[in-house]
Amino acid sequence: MYDYIKGDIAELNPAFVVLDACGVGYCIHISLPTFTQLNGQKTARLFIYEAIREDAHLLYGFMNQAERQLFLLLISVSGIGANTARMIMSSYSTQEIQDMIATGNVTALNAIKGIGTKTAQRIIVDLKDKILKIAGVNSTGQMMLSVNNPVKDEAVSALVMLGFAANASQKAVDQIIKNEPNLRVEQLIKLALKMM
């Protein structure tokens, strides 16, 4: 129902933030990296995941869409609930978690409080292919993750929705950004379409 909520920060704690949007206070659960980024800010825009249960309606907030996408992947794993996913995302950055899953680093995942060896292995088995598909892999075998580039993320997402493969879309967008880094989303998409 909610894509994002933008408002004044009425209250900020390591576990949640209250955003005042048009006179309504939304209590939004956040990870520690999000808390750190919001610290000292007066306003914020958080991308939202709404968890509706029998006993509660909870909102989880993320600084960007890549964080929210990773959260959704984590909670899709059997045995990983929203609070466990938030714990994982509080322990490492989005980039580090994606790298751990893509490289099969069970030890690093196992070091997170509440994540046993079997759960860490299940996360890797269930999500490795999805993470590699989202991220793409370049010719040297290194992952090309686009965590902090919303223009790039939006362009790749649009191309995938148009029916192009994620890996091919990623490569085209990366190539264009390398030559012209300051393009708007629509310009980037148009140039990528010519290359596909």
Q: What are 116-154's pLDDT values in tens digits?
A: 899 999 999 999 888 887 665 433 344 444 444 677 778
Q: How many CB atoms lie within 10 A of CB 151?
A: 17
Q: What is the pLDDT of residues 32-75, one digit of tens each?
A: 999 999 999 999 999 999 998 899 899 999 998 889 999 999 99
155 domain-assigned? yes
| 75 and 125 inside one domain | yes
Range of the domain at 70: 65-135
* Highest mean pLDDT of the ranges 34-48, 90-104, 147-161, 167-181: 34-48
Backbone angles phi, psi at 84, to 5 degrees: -65, -40
143 domain-assigned? no
The pTM of the full predicted model, rounded to 2 decimals, is 0.69
- Residues in Cβ contact with 171 at an 8 Å cutoff, skipping those fewer than 6 apart: 136, 138
140 domain-assigned? no
CATH number at residue 177: 1.10.8.10
144 domain-assigned? no
- Can you tell me the distance from the alpha carbon of 106 to that of 100, in angstroms, rounded to the nearest whole number? 8
Query: Of how many residues is the chain composed?
Result: 196
